[in-house]
Amino acid sequence: MDSSNSKLTNLIAELHNRTNEAKATFDQAIAELERQKAENEKIFKEKKEQLANERRKWDEEKAIVEKLAASAGPIVNLNVGGETISTSRATLILIEGSLLATMFSGKWEEKLIKDANGSIFLDYDPVLFKFLLNQLRAWSEPSIKRSFRLPVGSEQSFLELVRLLKFNERFIDGGQNDITSAATVLQSEQRVERFGTVSSSAVRLTDNSRTCENTVDSQWAHVFGTLNYSTGIHRIRLKLDKGTTNILIGICSQNKPPAGPLFYDKPTTHGWFIHGYVVKNGQGSHPGWPQVSLGDILELSVNCNERSLSILNERSRAQNSMQVNIAEAPFPWCLYILFYYKETQVSLV
């Protein structure tokens, strides 16, 4: 009897142990399932958030593109001072009451001058016009303050362009304008013409870049002035230090500089050879401009407002003038000196 009870007790104990083991295994399985479930839920949540962010970004990009497409309107091709610029009609007519808004309202475009490619020609400085145009493009966004920023170094010229295009004064920050006006006065006093870029090592610059000399014989070489001219009247005094022939004094377009081998025959070139030859649009003639002598001081007058040049020999009082073809020599202009013979030299005075 005792033996039977002992066996039963052992059997019950073994069964209990197996039950506990099975329960532990089951609990572990449940715990693993719960862990996997939590991990899957986390992955699902992260993936859902990622998809939601991507959808939101896509919706935002779609809205921006649709807004741009709706606001851009037709494309207008412009020839601004000889440089081709394309923009939307919406940008040009953005500011009601401006001259641009009037010109491109759709009422007057057939009356506007067009070049050979059908682009509407605007006789403005392309650098300043692009600076203005980029700001108009930004102003299509309502959050951008509509107040013109002024380009460093060309503040007064830019303000003149803004007013010429009849933009309301409220688009010009008063404080900025006052500061700029004072800076422009100071800057105009400090702006001094000098010789800058040269065509080759044959041209030597001395005296703080106020004297240029050709050091190689029978080879065309040139030098450009450092300043650019787009508005107003400017006078440049030059002295013939060395040489009796084949020295040209004049201007060319900074954006369309002449290229060799014969620099003087390019349409952008305008000026006077010291031996009496006049070059206009790259074409030469002898209109009676007299020979310049060594030591003579010549005053070159650059009249951007009237698109003209004139030259005066201060000793002989001989003078000559010409109109500049703005299509061939677009603004901005720069001083241009051309040499051919060795030991020919010109100085700024």
Average of per-residue pLDDT across 3-18:
76
- Quote the percentage of the chain above a pLDDT of 90: 45
Q: Greater confidence, 344 or 23?
A: 344
With 60 as the cut, is the pLDDT of residue 86 above it?
A: yes
* Domain 75-190: assigned CATH number: 3.30.710.10
10 Å CB burial of residue 64 (0-12, 13-18, 19+) is exposed
Instruction: Determine the pLDDT at residue 93.
Output: 94
Q: Greater confidence, 288 or 258?
A: 258
- CA 106 from chain centre, in angstroms, equals 28
Instruction: Determine the pLDDT at residue 185.
Output: 37
With 80 as the cut, is the pLDDT of residue 4 above it?
A: no
With 60 as the cut, is the pLDDT of residue 176 above it?
A: no
Average of per-residue pLDDT across 158-162:
91
3-state secondary structure of 150: coil
Mean of the per-residue pLDDT values of the chain: 85
- CA–CA distance, 167 with 317 (Å, rounded to integer): 44
**25 falls in which pLDDT band (50, 70, 90)?**
confident
Sort strands 270-273 and 248-253 into parallel, antiparallel or unpaired.
Answer: antiparallel
Q: At 2, which amino acid appears?
A: D
Long-range contacts of 148-151 (CB under 8 A, 24+ apart): 148/172, 148/173, 149/176, 150/176, 150/180
| Least confident piece of the model among 142-156, 164-178, 246-260 | 164-178
Q: Greater confidence, 190 or 30?
A: 30
Instruction: Determine the pLDDT at residue 272.
Output: 93
- Closest C-alpha to 212, from 344, 311, 301, 342: 344
- CA–CA distance, 315 with 114 (Å, rounded to integer): 45
* Domain 195-348: assigned CATH number: 2.60.120.920
Q: Which two tokens stand for residue 306?
A: 């009237």
With 50 as the cut, is the pLDDT of residue 180 above it?
A: no
3-state secondary structure of 63: helix
